[in-house]
Chain A
Amino acid sequence: MSGPERAPAAAPPAAVTVPVTGELDHESCDDLLRAVAELLAARPDAEAVRLDCHGMSLCDSMGLSVLLQLRRDVDAAGRRLLLDRRPAHLERLLHLTGTADYLLADHRPH
């Protein structure tokens, strides 16, 4: 990457934070997709979408599918997706499914 790396300690980029609480499964996944889509539309200045996963009690295969969809959507919108405060079960799922590198990679918009 060319240009100076943004220091992590610097003022954080304008980000919108979406708390994810409870079970992320086939019943709740559409709500999360919609919430992020609305935030992206409402906050064109936001460089990043932060999913606060602290309150996530479960993530099943549909939940993972939605995280992957969010990654695509946010990339396509030229923003960054950050999964913050990941609980152990989510770490385990990302590891088991080999999706950690992809989901957690820092694709910076150019």
Chain B
Amino acid sequence: MAFPPIFPPATAGAEFLTGSPYPVAVLDPAGGLRHASPAARRLLAPPADPQHGDATAGPVPAWLRRAHLRLAGGGRTGVVRHSDPLAGTVEAHPSPQADGSVVWWFVGADGCSAVLPGTAGGGPCDWELLTRLSGLLLSSLNVDRILETAARQAALHLADAAVVVSPPRGRTLRFVSALGGGDPVHRQVRADPAEVPGLAEALRGFPPVPSRWIDPSATPDWLVPEGLGRVGSVVVTPLPGHGVPAGALVLLRGAAGGGFDADEEVFARMFAARAGAAVSAAVMYSDQASVTDLLMRELLPPRLAHLNGVDFAGGYRASVDRDRIGGDFYDVHPSAEPDGEALALLGDVSGKGLEAAVMTGKVRNTLHALLPLADDHQRVLQLLNRALLTSHHTRFASLVLASVRREGERVRVRLSAAGHPAPMVVRADGRVTPSSTLGSIVGVLPEATTRTDTVLLDPGEACVLYSDGITEARGGPTGREQFGDHRLQQALGECAGMPAEAIVERVQMLASQWIRDGRHDDMAVMVIAAPPRGHLALVGGRPGRAA
């Protein structure tokens, strides 16, 4: 014989075929069905009658018989495609044997799962159950909740008990286990996954080994949920994730439960595929959410108060748009010496979302590092410009630097704008004038330039720094009109003599009323004010009326 048979003939053949992951059938030279795996029998059976006949019985469908006879008549041995009403497109791959028989392997569009049409009610190939379980698994983006659902449902429908093992981190193994009908339990142990046969491989994403190869008595006690008793059989299946495995599913049956048959193992794999997709989507979501939260925490503007005889107040209203993090920022850095200049700054980064947030962090950190040079605003802005300049994008920042020092009862403010709206100066008599400072944005032009303006604030007077989210806020009667400089100026005129915090609240309130429920960008306001006469005494770090 030129070719050894690829499967043990006769009686042993049926068992061999049963174990095949793909449906397979053997046709004798005349086109009669010699053997077929259970999946192939379901595939080849007439759709109206999905009966499970014995291995040698059952008709061969016409399409397969035709292809088989063509092959037997000396035709080319190619792949035959067939559209099955239940399984969709099926490819039949012939493998002629020396004795004239042909082994036909069937590959469905969806791997081997496509040829597992639903059996009416219950059973291991219950598509309705699988669909219902998929729905349960996908109904949450909470990783723990999904792991619990996977364990609970697997223990209920697939085995006596189920354990969902997460990919190991360090030497600790975390898993959720459930006993049929019971509540899932989170546990973690210091153990090596290799202690469970097949688990280390499954956690690395290797295909599962057949259940009958696993010695149930080798299952370590830490894995077995309390109450299951002696383990009779084990299935270990990987949870396929996006690129990296999402964990592994271990199904356990008690000693009296019997083994897992091939159909049950296939069903477990299909369940695991859905659980893996749900878990990895949730892991991705929670990673993203934690990055966003972390950045948000870092970017929250500081609470401002009274500093070396100057009142500072700030307010920030983030955009309510999908990208939660905006590009506005403000900071106040007190000077090292009591009579030195504090550096206040307020700015805005072009764009929104994470990229804007990253640049905001960069700007704030760089300015913090440049504090010792704060005497020279031009130099600070030049250095900041160089630090931000990149060939990758033209994202930029605009900001205002304000060096603030108390001089007697007045406050001296040196203002330098960098592509930012000039701060407004609110005089005691209600006059509001924009500062004359003007400069270029930082982060995109070869050089940054600015013209510094010095403002002296008498007691009760204030300097207002704001982002264009305020003046460009759209709303009003038409819903499309911008709040605009003149409305801001007018509003500030009514704030003469008010404390810094009250001015911030007033501006925020007016802008909010203007936009009502409309969309808006980030809105930031900071007020630097010379405390009014008679408010000089400090009470607990806050201005209070002198006794």
> CB within 8 Å of B: which residues of A?
26, 60-62, 64-66, 68-69, 72, 96-99, 102
Q: Mark B343-387, 1 if CB is under 8 A from A, else 0.
A: 000001011100000000000000000000000000000000000
- Among the listed B350, B394, B441, B472, which residue makes an inter-chain contact with A72, where contact means beta carbons less than 8 Å apart? B394
Residue of A61, A66, A69, A72 with most chain B CB atoms under a 10 A cut-off: A61
> CB within 8 Å of A: which residues of B?
348, 350-352, 393-396, 398, 418-421, 438-441, 444-446, 448-449, 468, 472
Q: A98-B438, A102-B445 are in contact. Are A69 and B419 (CB under 8 A)?
A: no
| A-B interface pairs (CB < 8 A), number | 50
A98 partner residues in chain B, CB cutoff 8 A: 418-419, 438-441, 445, 448-449
A64 partner residues in chain B, CB cutoff 8 A: 350, 396
A98 nearest CB neighbor, chain B only: B440
Q: List 26 A-B contacts (CB under 8 A).
A: A60-B472, A61-B348, A61-B396, A62-B351, A64-B350, A64-B396, A65-B351, A68-B394, A68-B396, A68-B444, A69-B393, A96-B419, A96-B420, A96-B421, A97-B419, A97-B440, A98-B419, A98-B438, A98-B439, A98-B440, A98-B441, A98-B445, A99-B419, A99-B441, A102-B445, A102-B446
B350 partner residues in chain A, CB cutoff 8 A: 61-62, 64-65
B351 partner residues in chain A, CB cutoff 8 A: 26, 61-62, 65
Taken together as a complex, chains A and B put the C-alpha atoms of A64 and B443 apart, in Å, by: 13
> Chain B nearest CB: distance from A93 CB in Å?
9
Taken together as a complex, chains A and B put the C-alpha atoms of A72 and B352 apart, in Å, by: 22
> Chain A nearest CB: distance from B119 CB in Å?
51
Q: Is the CB of A69 within 8 A of B394?
A: yes
Taken together as a complex, chains A and B put the C-alpha atoms of A96 and B439 apart, in Å, by: 7
Considering the complex of A and B, which 8 residue pairs feature the smallest CB-CB distances, nearest first?
A: A98-B440, A61-B350, A97-B419, A68-B394, A69-B394, A65-B350, A97-B441, A65-B394
B472 partner residues in chain A, CB cutoff 8 A: 60
Taken together as a complex, chains A and B put the C-alpha atoms of A65 and B351 apart, in Å, by: 9
B395 partner residues in chain A, CB cutoff 8 A: 65
A29 nearest CB neighbor, chain B only: B351
B352 partner residues in chain A, CB cutoff 8 A: 26
> Chain B nearest CB: distance from A67 CB in Å?
8
> Chain A nearest CB: distance from B421 CB in Å?
7
